[in-house]
């Protein structure tokens, strides 16, 4: 046989593995927690199915027309006619997939074009596309920072940043969320001569707060560190060219990470940089080399979307107006929000505990509104919230209905008076 085992040596009816050696036993706690949640009569918030998607802001969930306020479709590009046409054309011309890695057989014309679209969008000399944003962080962080070097990250960093640190061999140093002083202090304790990468996010996606990047980049420079900023939740609508919070604050950084899964409206990840040696990443980065490249239809939609985002001024203005309407309306009702002012397209409604968060989430869903439930470990410890993410395509009328639903659901669960 292929394994070299002779059939007669196999026990065809093996005894079950003892419970203490059953590798699946470690999930018993999670299984019980989920069971208890479902037994309490609520819909499982982590198993929602979109039966139909009608537009960037509307879907059918459990047979019911639902307003989507919990997707990352900030710029509403998923149904853009040019974007969809580009995908169909690529499907016809290049087929459904690449069957291989970028290094070997997986670079098609549209991969080259989407990287050029990114260079043009960011005004940078280098762009490398990964299969997801998760892999862009995993690959860039683990490849950039080596043995004896340091990666310094915000405690509230996205899981993909943490995983990039774990995959690598560098020393890991965390600083308090958005604390410039703590970053300064921790950088000051590290050996002067060692290579250092400070990893920041423009928008932190759980609370929707932005980073004081100007101060953080200045402190990083003072200590001789390079800076990587993940702009996943800001692309398309922060800064004069939609490049992100770093552009909005007038900064230069060494590496920008982004994703196609949010404002761009498809799937994929990337890193852009002006570093003259940036291309060398392609030769060394395992999450770039050892996986298949994105399908041609995906990169073609991404390239078209990115080129349109560069000039989507009107959409940007509508998105910001929507953020102000939702944030202002919820504040006036007495909800506790993740930020005092609308800082991004994410508005987080903070609740007392998991039970209240899930009850309110269910009431909203039953009323025809989908938002995200977020809980630890995705959120800071002890924080349960309903996360709303806005789209440029939400209408004033939709948001008026959203606010009415929040009022009645909030009163029903006792979150507001
Ligand atoms: N970085 C941040 C800050 C994110 O929020 C996310 C996804 N939510 C990612 C990276 C990963 O992006 P992707 O969905 O493309 O894997």
Write out the DSSP string of 229-249: EE-TTTTTTSSTTS--HHHHT
pLDDT of residue 72: 96
Catalytic choice (262, 308, 327, 394): 262
* ipTM value: 0.99
Distance of CA 409 to the CA centre of its chain: 27
The pairing of beta strand 369-370 with beta strand 171-175:
unpaired
Structure tokens at 161: 């940043």
Catalytic site includes residue 394: no
Residue 133 CA: which ligand 1 atom is closest? 15
The tens-digit pLDDT sequence of the chain (417 residues) is 455 656 566 666 777 888 888 999 999 999 998 888 888 888 888 889 999 999 999 999 999 999 999 999 999 999 999 999 999 999 999 999 999 999 999 999 999 999 999 999 999 999 999 999 999 999 999 999 999 999 999 999 999 999 999 999 999 999 999 999 999 999 999 999 999 999 999 999 999 999 999 999 999 999 999 999 999 999 999 999 999 999 999 999 999 999 999 999 999 999 999 999 999 999 999 999 999 999 999 999 999 999 999 999 999 999 999 999 999 999 999 999 999 999 999 999 999 998 899 999 999 999 999 999 998 888 888 899 999 999 999 999 999 999 999 999 999 999 998
The Cα 51–Cα 61 span in angstroms is 6
> For 348, phi and psi rounded to 5 degrees?
-100, 130
Cα angle: 371, vertex 374, 380; to 5 degrees: 145
Catalytic choice (131, 142, 157, 205): 205
pLDDT of residue 5: 58
- Ligand 1 center to 262 CA (angstroms): 8
The closest of 247, 281, 287 to 133, measured between CA atoms, is 287
Structure tokens at 98: 């690449």
Structure tokens at 398: 């939709």
pLDDT of residue 1: 46
Pocket flag, ligand 1, residue 73 (CB < 6 Å):
no
No. of H helices and E strands in the chain? 14, 16
Virtual CA dihedral for 249, 251, 254, 258, nearest 10 degrees?
30
Strands of 72-208 (E only): list them: 126-130, 150-154, 171-175, 196-201, 203-204
Ligand 1 pocket test target in 70, 131, 160 with most atoms within 8 Å of CB? 160
The closest of 254, 262, 206, 213 to 234, measured between CA atoms, is 262
Structure tokens at 323: 């953020």
User: What domains are there in the chain, each with its CATH number?
Assistant: 39-75+313-412 (3.90.1150.10), 80-309 (3.40.640.10)
The Cα 153–Cα 37 span in angstroms is 34
Pocket flag, ligand 1, residue 269 (CB < 6 Å):
yes
Catalytic site includes residue 205: yes
The Cα 211–Cα 216 span in angstroms is 8
Pocket flag, ligand 1, residue 158 (CB < 6 Å):
yes
Catalytic site includes residue 233: yes
3-state SS class at 389? strand
pLDDT of residue 299: 98
Residue 260 CA: which ligand 1 atom is closest? 15
Q: How many CB atoms lie within 10 A of CB 47?
A: 8
The Cα 271–Cα 286 span in angstroms is 15
The Cα 133–Cα 263 span in angstroms is 12
Pocket flag, ligand 1, residue 205 (CB < 6 Å):
yes
pTM of the model as a whole: 0.95
């Amino acid at each position: 046989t292929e394994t070299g085992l002779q059939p007669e040596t196999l026990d065809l009816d093996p005894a079950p593995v003892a419970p203490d050696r059953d590798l699946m036993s470690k999930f018993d706690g999670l299984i019980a927690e989920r069971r208890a949640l479902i037994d309490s009569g609520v819909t499982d918030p982590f198993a929602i199915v979109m039966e139909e998607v009608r537009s960037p802001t509307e879907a059918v969930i459990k047979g019911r027309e639902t307003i989507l306020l919990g997707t990352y479709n900030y710029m509403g590009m998923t149904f853009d006619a040019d974007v969809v046409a580009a995908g169909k054309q690529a499907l016809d011309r290049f087929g459904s997939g690449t069957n291989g890695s970028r290094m070997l057989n997986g670079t098609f014309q549209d991969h080259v074009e989407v990287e050029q679209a990114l260079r043009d969008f960011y005004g940078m000399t280098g762009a490398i596309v990964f299969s997801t944003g998760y892999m862009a962080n995993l690959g860039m962080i683990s490849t950039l920072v080596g043995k004896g070097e340091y990666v310094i990250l915000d405690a509230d960093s996205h899981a993909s940043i943490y995983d990039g640190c774990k995959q690598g061999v560098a020393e890991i140093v965390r600083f308090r969320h958005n604390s410039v002083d703590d970053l300064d202090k921790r950088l000051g304790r590290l050996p002067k001569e060692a290579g250092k990468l400070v990893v920041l996010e423009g928008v932190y996606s759980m609370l929707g707060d932005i980073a004081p990047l100007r101060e953080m980049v200045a402190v990083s420079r003072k200590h001789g560190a390079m800076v990587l900023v993940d702009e996943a939740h800001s692309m398309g609508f922060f800064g004069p060219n939609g490049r992100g919070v770093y552009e909005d604050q007038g900064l230069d950084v060494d590496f920008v990470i982004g994703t196609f899964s949010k404002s761009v409206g498809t799937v994929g990840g990337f890193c852009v940089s002006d570093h003259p040696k940036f291309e060398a990443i392609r030769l060394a980065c395992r999450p770039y080399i050892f996986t298949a490249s994105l399908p041609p239809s995906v990169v073609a939609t991404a390239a078209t979307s990115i080129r349109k985002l560069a000039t989507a001024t009107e959409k940007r203005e509508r998105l910001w107006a929507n953020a102000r309407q939702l944030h202002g309306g919820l504040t006036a009702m007495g909800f506790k929000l993740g930020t005092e002012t609308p800082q991004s397209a994410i508005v987080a409604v903070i609740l007392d505990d998991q039970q209240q968060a899930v009850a309110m989430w269910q009431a909203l869903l039953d009323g025809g509104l989908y938002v995200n439930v977020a809980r630890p470990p995705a959120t800071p410890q002890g924080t349960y919230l309903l996360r709303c993410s806005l789209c440029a395509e939400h209408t004033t009328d939709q948001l008026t209905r959203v606010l009415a639903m929040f009022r009645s659901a909030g009163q029903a669960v006792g979150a507001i008076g």
